[in-house]
Amino acid sequence: MKHTVRFAPSPTGNIHIGNVRPALMNWLVALKTGGTFILRYDDTDLERSRTEYAEAIAADLKWLGITPHRIEKQSDRFGLYDTVAERLKKMGRLYPCYETPEELDRRRKRLRARGLPPVYDRSALDLSDEQIAAFESEGRSAHWRFKLEIENINWHDHIRGDIEIDLGSVSDPVLIRADGTYLYTLPSVVDDIDMGISMVIRGEDHVTNTAVQIQIFNLLSGKSPEFAHHNLLTSMTGEGLSKRLGSLSIQSLREKGYEGISVATFAVLVGTSEAIAPSGDLEELAKIFELTKVSKSPAKFDETELLSLNTRQVHQMTYVSACAHLENHIAAELSEELWVAVRGNLEKFSDIHVWLKIVNEGPDEIDLESSDREFVIQAAEYLPSAPWDANTWKTWTNTLKEKTGRKGKSLFMPLRLALTGKSHGPELAALLPVIGLDKTRALLS
């Protein structure tokens, strides 16, 4: 079955790695089923929503490999929500309430003090015309609640299995604020119906809200989408992730030099029964991802694990992919021979610039002990003739062992430092042909 899915972020801040998990899961389901992915901005909060955040979200998704088939803004659809809201009012399912936030908070505290669930008591349904007029004369504006039918809502969740929610334990949800703006629930249901959303994949924090929405779906259209509620991503200490944690934003991870596919693979597979291993692209990831493999337990973000995955991702990157990462004038400096020689020593792709500089310009000045300096000058005298290949290093070092008596670290380390400026790095047998005879002789002299 082809699924039409959606990702509905609020453009009120930069999205983080926890936010993109439902985006990626929805995208992979669309890929697996040949379906449609809709990016739908939940921007009904006109005060907090910002165009720059919407643009940043689109850029983050593109970097991860997601190209929406369709983009919608809920702020363009208020007319449709108004029509449905009037319909619900006429049905007696949307009713006005005049309590202030402070009054509601006091009621909830009293109920908790008595050991009762803080469920709204529907007292607004008993207001007389005189009481309503009195509230409005005080300057109060009504917020509107949806009157729930008390019933058990059941559905089979593609991740969590069979779920049952007693709506008797849930407050009638506020659908419209006192200022006339819509909260998440009504626009979400209306748009899911209008856009033909067939599966909703989102975090487990929406489970109770889903039960409410299913009743509204059934009331408005007679059916609801399928649902899957994934586990949430937390910090290593178990704290929830927040947009305020800029270090975990997708933009920040990109700026740190992680690969988009590494972040996407980690975000999808962490907290599942699938091993976290490098993927070529999202199409390859879609082949192994299954909603049924997502754990019901929280998943934890460990940047050390992400870095390990990223390192393995870079190590298997092809030369063509490596060149595509670079601007044309820099890609021209990267030979396939150099890429194959150094990629196994990179944690992040950006590390390639270090080795391009070393090979093209030589290392920064290195202080060698006088005996080592004399050795590398002597070593230059025994450099094999061109052309150089994978056997040149062995031929050269065997000659040096014979001529100088040096071996092991005392032989290899001075040469590595003189040629690269580093005490560790790629195998010199692979790197030496890339540096070449003339440059090697210059570095040793």
pLDDT 10s digits, 54-78: 999 999 999 999 999 999 999 999 9
Q: Are residues 295 and 323 in the same domain?
A: no
pLDDT 10s digits, 7-33: 999 999 999 999 999 999 999 999 999
Residue 428 lies in a domain: yes
For the chain, give the mean pLDDT. 94
Q: Are residues 311 and 349 in the same domain?
A: no
Q: Are residues 352 and 333 in the same domain?
A: yes
Residue 377 lies in a domain: yes
The answer to whether residues 418 and 431 touch, using CB atoms and an 8 Å cutoff, is no
CB atoms within 10 A of CB 214: 20
Q: Are residues 284 and 341 in the same domain?
A: no
Q: Are residues 440 and 380 in the same domain?
A: yes
pLDDT 10s digits, 382-407: 999 989 999 999 999 999 999 999 99
Handedness of CA 269, 270, 273, 277 (dihedral sign): positive
Residue 384 lies in a domain: yes
* pLDDT range class, residue 240, cuts 50, 70, 90: confident
Residue 390 lies in a domain: yes
Q: Are residues 352 and 391 in the same domain?
A: no
Residue 210 has pLDDT above 90, yes or no: yes
**Average pLDDT rounded to a whole number, residues 338-345:** 96
Whole-model pTM? 0.91
* pLDDT range class, residue 275, cuts 50, 70, 90: very high
Residue 297 lies in a domain: yes
Residue 184 lies in a domain: no
Residue 259 lies in a domain: yes
Q: Are residues 353 and 374 in the same domain?
A: no
Sequence-distant (6+) residues with CB within 8 A of 1 are: 33, 198
Residue 392 lies in a domain: yes
User: 58-67: b or e for each residue (b if 16 or more CB lie within 10 Å)?
Assistant: bebbebbbbe
Residue 194 has pLDDT above 70, yes or no: yes
- Which domain, by its residues, includes 399? 370-444
* pLDDT range class, residue 46, cuts 50, 70, 90: confident
pLDDT 10s digits, 126-161: 999 999 999 999 999 999 999 999 999 999 999 999
Instruction: For residue 377, give the CATH number of its domain.
Output: 1.10.10.350
What pLDDT score was predicted for residue 88? 98
Q: Are residues 262 and 306 in the same domain?
A: yes
User: Among 3-12, 48-57, 78-87, 365-374, whose mean pLDDT is lowest?
Assistant: 365-374
**Average pLDDT rounded to a whole number, residues 364-372:** 85
* pLDDT range class, residue 244, cuts 50, 70, 90: low
What pLDDT score was predicted for residue 236? 84
Instruction: For residue 301, give the CATH number of its domain.
Output: 1.10.1160.10
- Structural domain count of the chain: 3
Which of 298, 315, 332 is at the close of a domain?
A: 315
**Average pLDDT rounded to a whole number, residues 108-124:** 94
Which of 361, 386, 419 is at the close of a domain?
A: 361
Which of 299, 315, 331 is at the close of a domain?
A: 315
Residue 372 has pLDDT above 70, yes or no: yes
Q: Are residues 426 and 397 in the same domain?
A: yes
Q: Are residues 374 and 435 in the same domain?
A: yes
The answer to whether residues 22 and 267 touch, using CB atoms and an 8 Å cutoff, is no
